[in-house]
Amino acid sequence: MSKQKSARSIALNILLESEKGRHYATELLDREFSGTALDARDTALTTQLVYGIIRMRGAIDWMISRFSNRRLEKVEITTLMCLRLAVYQLFYLDKIPEYAAVNESVNLARVRANPGAAMFVNAVLRKFIAERDNLKFPEKDEDPVQHISVVHSHPQFLVERGQRHAKPHGLPCAPSPQAQGSSVAACPYRAERIAG
């Protein structure tokens, strides 16, 4: 299989296309899978990457922003999506080797953006790997809105709205159930560590 048709490359294509807002990820996945000969494992990985990154985008972007010397809105979308691909794998999935997540994201940035983008992606990911276990997520007791917004990847304005409408009853927001049915295992100790 060529690198252009790897699970991560296909996921990148789908994520970039869905970013335009013209198609749902489900449609894009179906279209990609009907035109490629991925095995079951790569199909599962592609699906997990697409849905996982869409679902956890707020948390992923929060983590990237801790290690980037550029504001995320200034990062070109293909470069940012390569970072999201790697950070999602490195933080949320436990069966993906670090080198595979990093190397392919760097290579995708080089091919799909430019060599400077690849160097930027590599630098951010190296910092992330060195410091990810020391990340300090917003504490529930100190800032419940920010905690839910970051840890559970809910838009902050929705969390704030929920808090305003249920003031005397406490915060009604709760983490959404995780997507089921994937053969790529999530890393449970990380979820427990940040959800507290």
pLDDT at 196 over 60: no
**What average pLDDT does this structure show over 75-89?**
98
In tens, the pLDDT along 29-57 reads 998 888 777 889 999 999 999 999 999 99
pLDDT at 2 over 60: no
pLDDT band with cut points at 50, 70 and 90 for residue 185: very low
Q: Does residue 69 come out as left (phi exceeding 0), alpha (psi in the -120 to 50 range) or beta? A: alpha
**What average pLDDT does this structure show over 84-108?**
96
For the ranges 22-26, 35-39, 105-109, the one whose mean pLDDT is highest:
105-109
For residue 170, give both structure tokens.
């406490």
**Residue 41, Cβ neighbours under 10 Å: how many?**
11
The Cα 81–Cα 53 span in angstroms is 9
Q: Which domains does the chain possess?
A: 3-134 (1.10.940.10), 144-195 (no CATH)
Give all strands (DSSP E) within 7-75, no chain letters.
Answer: none
The Cα 52–Cα 100 span in angstroms is 18
**What average pLDDT does this structure show over 81-92?**
97
The Cα 190–Cα 133 span in angstroms is 9
Tell me the pLDDT of the chain averaged across its residues: 84
In tens, the pLDDT along 142-176 reads 887 888 888 888 888 887 777 777 665 554 445 45
Q: Which residues pair with 186 in a beta bridge?
A: 93
